[in-house]
Amino acid sequence: MGAVQSIARGQGIAQRAKTALAKTPRRRRRLPLIAWVFLVPVALLLLALVAYPLLNVVWESVHYVNLTNPTATGFSGFDNFETVFEDDNLLPALWNTVLWTVFSVGGEYVLGLASALALVGPIRGGAIFRACIIIPWLIPIVVAGLDWSWILAPDYGVLNLWLVHIGLLAHPVDWLGQLNTALPTVTLANVWRTFPFYTISFLAALQAVPPELHEAAALDGAPAWKRFWHISLPHLRPVTLTLVTLHVIWTAVNFDFIWVMTEGGPLNASTTLPILIYRYALQNFDVGAACALAGMMMSAMATMFFLYRYGFMGLVRARVRRLNAGDA
Amino acid sequence: MAMVGAQDRFTLTARYGVLIAFSAFCLFPFLWMLDTAFKPIDEVLSTTPSFLIRHPTLVNFATVLLHSPFLIYLRNSIIVSGFSTLVTMVSSTFCAYVLSRWPRQSPVRVVAGALLASQMIPGVLLLVPLYMTMRDLGLLSTYLSLIIVYCTFMVPLAVFMLRSFFDALPVELEEAAELDGCSRPAFLIRILLPLSVPGLLATGLFGFVTAWNEFMFGYVLINDDAHRTLTPGIMLFRGAHSTDWGSLMAASVLTILPVAVSFLYLQRFLSGGLSVGAVKG
């Protein structure tokens, strides 16, 4: 009896052990409770501070919300969008945003690539040059903006005084106060501050290129520009695409630089869409219109991001794969 | 061979030329700021400016520190950046550990995707709703409003940075601890965190600097001098003392100081970790 029982129990244990063993991998696949607990704070934070405000933008873009006139409430249909589209400042602001973004990112790309190419490979004092080039990126935007405002000041700014002194200018120019120079000048300051980030990224990518490729090409008599065109540039393509996409988004929505240097002026000459959003909400107190514009900008950004993520990036990956297969 | 040597020398000269030009372009505005900060007023407002300072002075720094609200702004920036870094680090460490340990689980991937997406969403688009929320909660012009809002951009940054540091630690470490009967929270506190101190420090500093440099939310959410932080504060200096560039540059130098000190430590991560993490996309 006892023996039978113990055998039965033993079999039971074995059976349970077997099911436990069988279950183990399945249980491993499930996320342990503690991991859920660890995820909760960040998940809540994202819901409260990103998801909720985003939905709020959409909601308020189709409702009357005015800070000075709290009686105006309720569903507004497309009235807020109409307010935005009827604003005479919209098209100039859109055009300014395009100019500001294209010239900023273009300038950053060119300077970043040129400096990275000069830095890559052994050179005496390379670390010092790299340190010098990175300095602008460490300076807070506000300080950079004020610093450039001082250098460019029309009365005692060093740039004007020196340019007049060496005869390039007949008289000092109010770079930030003139309609046709304000936006290009802020763009220059922005390029100055941002291009070092491209330098570091391009440098890292260039250093990852196997040196044998360049050596073999050089042995075969390929001149430097050909090696650059056929070896360096293809290897830079993934980094370039990521950098440019991110910076197009970041630059288009940048508020700080323009606000610190010109506040969108003179006479809206440097007003971009983010400045317009700020004006709608905090100077005209028309939150609905601000949200309508913000919502439209957000859709544009999202479209661009998805094009990048699922369109261009896929093409580039395929190309790089072909390239690597060719190398092998 | 002689041809190749000449070509190399030409390339090298060209590289030095380009690098010297770039260094001058990058350094000049920075050095000019330093230079102006130490100049007396008559040399700041000179029509023949030069780097040479005939009578170096600390009077600009004295003006900023003694006769302006600079020290109040400084205190506010320290409070806001410090607490938002603390909140960020505590919540991000746990999240980053999960992201590093179970990267293939679908709930984890959802959170990682949401973090990546929120990193892409520009602050200016969240500005209006966050302003309205803070207004409804009665939090305008409080430290709390900035501390909460700064988490929106600091947390994704911190999670991805910390994850790359945690990824570098071998998973066998955790398996060995588990065999010895160490629970997960105990493993985290007694093994993972002590081993990641350099990474934690780098992430914390980077977060602190990001909060320190932030301008827009500080400018919009804070409307009284007692709670204003440094970056909006020094911008308003310009309006108040429109001609005193010496003091403005002195205030700028003082604002950069903690950033510069932080980057002395952070620079070792700059070429590797930071840029790789940023470029991964």
pLDDT at A7 over 70: no
pLDDT computed for residue B185 by the predictor: 87
DSSP 3-state of A66: strand
Of A52, A145, A294, the CB nearest to B125: A294
pLDDT at A265 over 50: yes
Chain B residues with CB inside 8 Å of A41's CB? 90-91, 94-95
pLDDT band at A162 (very low <50, low <70, confident <90, very high): very high
Of A31, A145, A150, the CB nearest to B105: A31
The helix-helix angle for B143-167 and B197-213 (nearest 10°) equals 150
Residue A250 forms contact with B (CB below 8 Å): yes
Look at residue A111 and tell me if it is in a domain. yes
pLDDT at A264 over 50: yes
Q: Can you give the residue range of the structural domain that contains A130?
A: 90-270
8 A C-beta contact, residue B176 and residue B195: no
Look at residue A82 and tell me if it is in a domain. no
pLDDT at B130 over 80: yes
- The ipTM of this complex is 0.87
pLDDT computed for residue B173 by the predictor: 86
Look at residue A280 and tell me if it is in a domain. no
Residues 6+ apart with CB under 8 A from A234: A319, A320, A323
For residues B119-140, give the mean pLDDT. Answer: 88
For residues B239-249, give the mean pLDDT. Answer: 76
Chain B residues with CB inside 8 Å of A150's CB? 32-33, 36, 245, 248-249
Test A49 with B151 for CB contact under 8 angstroms.
yes
Instruction: Please state which architecture CATH assigns to domain B70-280.
Output: Orthogonal Bundle (1.10)
Residue A34 forms contact with B (CB below 8 Å): yes
| Burial readout B82-113 (b: 16 or more C-beta within 10 A, e: otherwise) | ebbbebbbebbbbbbbbbbbbeebeebeebbe
Sequence spans of domains, chain B: 2-60, 70-280
pLDDT band at B232 (very low <50, low <70, confident <90, very high): very high
Of B14, B115, B260, the CB nearest to A138: B260
Test B129 with A57 for CB contact under 8 angstroms.
yes
Look at residue A121 and tell me if it is in a domain. yes
Chain A residues with CB inside 8 Å of B280's CB? 242
Of B111, B213, B279, the CB nearest to A141: B213
pLDDT computed for residue B275 by the predictor: 41
Look at residue A75 and tell me if it is in a domain. no
pLDDT computed for residue A26 by the predictor: 44
Test A134 with B23 for CB contact under 8 angstroms.
no
pLDDT at A258 over 90: yes
pLDDT computed for residue A66 by the predictor: 82
* Average pLDDT taken over every residue of chain B: 87
Instruction: Express as a percent the part of chain A with pLDDT over 90.
Output: 35
Look at residue A304 and tell me if it is in a domain. no
pLDDT at B239 over 70: no
pTM for the complete prediction? 0.84
pLDDT computed for residue A143 by the predictor: 94
CA distances from A278 to A259, B55, B115, B124 (A): 10, 44, 25, 8
Q: d(Cα B105, Cα A31) in Å, to the nearest integer?
A: 7
Q: Any idea what the CATH number is for the domain that residue A102 is in?
A: 1.10.3720.10
A311: burial class by Cβ within 10 Å (0-12, 13-18, 19+)?
Answer: exposed
- Residue of B128, B153, B219, B262 to mutate for A, most A C-beta atoms under 10 A: B128
The helix-helix angle for A287-306 and A273-282 (nearest 10°) equals 150
pLDDT computed for residue A16 by the predictor: 52
* Average pLDDT taken over every residue of chain A: 84
Look at residue A141 and tell me if it is in a domain. yes
Of B15, B149, B184, the CB nearest to A123: B15
pLDDT at B227 over 90: yes
**Overall domain count for chain A:** 1
Look at residue A24 and tell me if it is in a domain. no
Note every long-range contact of B39-44, with CB atoms under 8 Å and residues 24 or more positions apart, other chains counting: B39/B246, B40/B246, B41/B244, B41/B246, B44/A156, B44/B245, B44/B246
pLDDT computed for residue A3 by the predictor: 45
Test A255 with B128 for CB contact under 8 angstroms.
no
